[in-house]
Structure 1
């Protein structure tokens, strides 16, 4: 007598196995997820190129200007894990659709802001929508494309959305800011339109949500509170420490909030470890064992992504301000100088799509991080009296290598060591790290800029004959880029030391679920 397979095992196999789909359906899914990534990044880069115009229009102080950028990245980073879990449990398509509608609403709200505080708050609410759409996109791609060359193409194309969104945001943001009556408000209309198109694409192309196969479908709300509170407080302190009254970093409320932020984050990690070890309470929001998989190489990949984004986004932030505030160039002239980033971004992602399953991951990552850090180095040494082609042009060419060569391989690697039911959460963890890198990189470089500027001002008391812009501001811009360079160099060193032995990542057999899951053999193919 033949024994029947358990019903749960049959349902799991059917749900985890992606359905057969046509080429057109595959293209639509990849295109929709990539457009969602582009829209998410455009929401940051269009703002970056319009910052000087916003600063003048809304009378925003230099030291608080970073919150227009960091508010979006902060809320997105803090909620990615929660929405990744919700997407895995209740449906990636539902999460994507709701997140897109939310993002459209608050993006339009930013276009009508007339007060700096209101704009900062709306930017924070914007990030909630991105926190829902991005992990849902990663989970959808991981489920729709099993380990194969198709998955490599899907993830490299999705990853292309980051640098392409960056270049597109700079280009269109600069044009709209300078050429339209709405100036800095016009880019928010653009972001709303991009999100709307991706929403329509998801409703048409995404597979219907299937019931989750997890036996315990409760949500770790305690963990969600701890990680959100901890990260918000830490990033808030980094952003406000320079302007806190009366003693800056020594101001009592800054010290208290920093201690609370570190405490909440530590409690989150302890709580997640506790939940993973005890199986009769809600599953953890983020498995601590994920970081130790593949003998700790997952932690190395996460660290490299974090540091690389500190470098890349910090470089972009100060690069735009250098051109517009220091050299007094228009947004359109700034776009022209940054336009090589777009071409390089396309080329880099073609390279990743072709070579991800041929070249060891360590080579791609180390090349990417070293080139991005070199771009920051060029601006740390830039001489405003020298032609653009000596410093600005090569920096624009090589700056996006890190984003392309880290994001796509990193996303594929994290997917390869994650079980099918945790793809969105694992992808959200990786995204959280990159978003935190964005916030921290801008915050730290802003602190460095302000401290060097204050030190330079002491050298030139009022009434001296110094050129305020060149003698005081230029060393501050250099120092900010030196801090970005340091982030990139550290990422390169970690890659050289800890990523050896991973091999290629294009074709991998997904692991079975379990806290001790390690990356499969690098040379195994399906």
Structure 2
């Protein structure tokens, strides 16, 4: 639900804009109001879940998410919709790390944990694509408002299942919330993400872009100093010190940079170039989703045997090849002949990447730090995704503009748009190659390590 909500409104955005009278300059806030609060508050949300109780905060955040979704669906003006999307992000910042931490502390057997992470990985990787399908269907047959209201029954079902079947867990030795660290990192991440969103309209050298990015980097540097000296840090630096986990977090950031914009480019290509409707455009993502589900299931069986390193390495290879095949794309492309093979390869690759990535990011983390460790993983993906959408959109737009100028066109046509998309896909492939190299260099875990975390885990009491 959390990942789904990051994309479900994308296809509905033209209808939302027309209905609420949102300007072209402000329409991005329907999306960024969610990602800003989600990415910026994840670390604090993870710590709250650790101390207040993961099951309790899982349920509380589900209630809050459902309420925010209901309000957003009723919004009569843009301001109320932005506020509701922001509250969804705040709720998601607690919900996501609580859910991942519950998996870590509930499934202690290595094989069962691998299966649980497979389900989580499939939902995480497939949620974005499923959101596009649902967004198209709900917009075409009902109303854009249902792209928000759909969260209410999903949340209620999750609550009904969580109450009897999920056991409570928390950090018993409560040591405080590290308020200075929480405030500093939250403001730092918010500033960076806001600066990135400004880059879409003002460019990377725009004054507000540079100011927000600079302030964010300074605040994050201050945060590191605070955490190194705090007796009860929000982010115990030992979590990052482990080579495998550090590699997982760093790779996760670059995965977000390279992967999130793919859905945006393909959506615009399907609707703006090939002329598909919103629903048809969403349905074209189903092969990608199916690939994720298939590879996630395979990974759950292989992970305890051969470990995460080469499974994820293979996943990067699948995804990169799929993106490179999209260089054949043109305004005369056919879906089955030119796009479908890439969709399948990228889907398989995402499933092979996300499941081991989640398991590695939490491997060896004590129950006391499970919430914050999962928050770091989610924050890396969300911040990376925000960077990637802004950066790759700028790259694609620049390529389209250059094509228009070089060919003396009066405006963007199908060929010009395709030039931008293929350039973006090429950069995505290059970024994912960087992520793959980082993964293979830093992650050394084997199947034996996964099967015996009592020997290899570096669990320590909270400091």
- Say which of 149, 152, 157 aligns to 2:114: 152
Which residue matches 2:172? 213
CA shift in 2, pair 1:65/1:515, >3 Å: farther
Say yes or no: does 1:179 pair with 2:141.
Answer: yes
CA shift in 2, pair 1:269/1:496, >3 Å: same
- Say which of 163, 176, 185 aligns to 1:203: 163
The Cα shift of 1:121 comes to 3.7
Distance in 1, matches of 2:375 and 2:347, equals 22
Distance in 1, matches of 2:337 and 2:194, equals 37
User: What are the ranges of 5 or more consecutive residues in structure 2 without an aligned counterpart?
Assistant: none
The Cα shift of 1:502 comes to 4.0
CA shift in 2, pair 1:128/1:160, >3 Å: same
The Cα shift of 1:67 comes to 4.0
Deviates more, 1:127-136 or 1:156-165: 156-165
The Cα shift of 1:196 comes to 1.8
Say yes or no: does 1:191 pair with 2:151.
Answer: yes
- Say which of 261, 283, 304 aligns to 1:336: 283
Distance in 2, matches of 1:249 and 1:114, equals 34
8 A Cα contact 1:64 1:239, kept in partner: no
The Cα shift of 1:260 comes to 0.8
8 A Cα contact 2:3 2:127, kept in partner: yes
The Cα shift of 1:60 comes to 5.2
Distance in 2, matches of 1:502 and 1:177, equals 46
CA shift in 2, pair 1:234/1:62, >3 Å: same
Which residue matches 1:227? 185
Say yes or no: does 1:292 pair with 2:292.
Answer: no
The Cα shift of 1:52 comes to 4.0
- Say which of 442, 445, 453 aligns to 1:498: 442
8 A Cα contact 1:312 1:403, kept in partner: no
Say yes or no: does 1:358 pair with 2:313.
Answer: no
The Cα shift of 1:359 comes to 2.1
Distance in 1, matches of 2:303 and 2:220, equals 35
Which residue matches 2:225? 270
The Cα shift of 1:374 comes to 2.8
The Cα shift of 1:324 comes to 1.3
* 1:384 aligned counterpart, secondary structure: coil
Question: Which is richer in helix?
Answer: 2
- Say which of 179, 189, 197 aligns to 1:239: 197
- Say which of 92, 96, 118 aligns to 1:130: 92
The Cα shift of 1:441 comes to 1.5
CA shift in 2, pair 1:310/1:258, >3 Å: closer
TM-score of the aligned structures, taking structure 2 as reference length: 0.91
User: How many correspondences in the alignment?
Assistant: 461
Which residue matches 1:470? 414
- Aligned Cα root-mean-square deviation (Å): 2.5
User: What are the ranges of 5 or more consecutive residues in structure 1 without an aligned counterpart?
Assistant: 1-38, 518-526
Say yes or no: does 1:257 pair with 2:206.
Answer: no
8 A Cα contact 2:292 2:351, kept in partner: yes
CA shift in 2, pair 1:475/1:422, >3 Å: same
CA shift in 2, pair 1:164/1:456, >3 Å: closer
Distance in 1, matches of 2:274 and 2:24, equals 16
Say yes or no: does 1:489 pair with 2:448.
Answer: no
TM-score of the aligned structures, taking structure 1 as reference length: 0.81
The Cα shift of 1:308 comes to 1.6
CA shift in 2, pair 1:258/1:45, >3 Å: closer
- Say which of 243, 247, 251 aligns to 1:304: 251
- 1:97-176 counterparts in 2 under 5 A? 97-116=59-78, 118-176=80-138
The Cα shift of 1:99 comes to 0.7
Distance in 2, matches of 1:119 and 1:374, equals 39
8 A Cα contact 2:249 2:361, kept in partner: no
8 A Cα contact 1:41 1:165, kept in partner: yes
Distance in 2, matches of 1:371 and 1:65, equals 34
Say yes or no: does 1:96 pair with 2:58.
Answer: yes
Distance in 2, matches of 1:126 and 1:107, equals 7
Which residue matches 1:514? 460
Q: Deviation string for 1:87-132 (max 9, x for gaps)? A: 1112111111111111111112222335445434432221111111
CA shift in 2, pair 1:381/1:292, >3 Å: farther
Distance in 1, matches of 2:278 and 2:449, equals 40
CA shift in 2, pair 1:393/1:53, >3 Å: farther
The Cα shift of 1:467 comes to 6.8
Deviates more, 1:364-373 or 1:201-210: 201-210
- Say which of 408, 412, 429 aligns to 2:355: 408
CA shift in 2, pair 1:343/1:413, >3 Å: same
- 1:446-465 counterparts in 2 under 5 A? 446-459=393-406
Distance in 1, matches of 2:224 and 2:280, equals 46
CA shift in 2, pair 1:251/1:396, >3 Å: closer
CA shift in 2, pair 1:375/1:191, >3 Å: farther
CA shift in 2, pair 1:307/1:174, >3 Å: same
* 1:418 aligned counterpart, secondary structure: coil
The Cα shift of 1:410 comes to 2.0
8 A Cα contact 1:324 1:334, kept in partner: yes
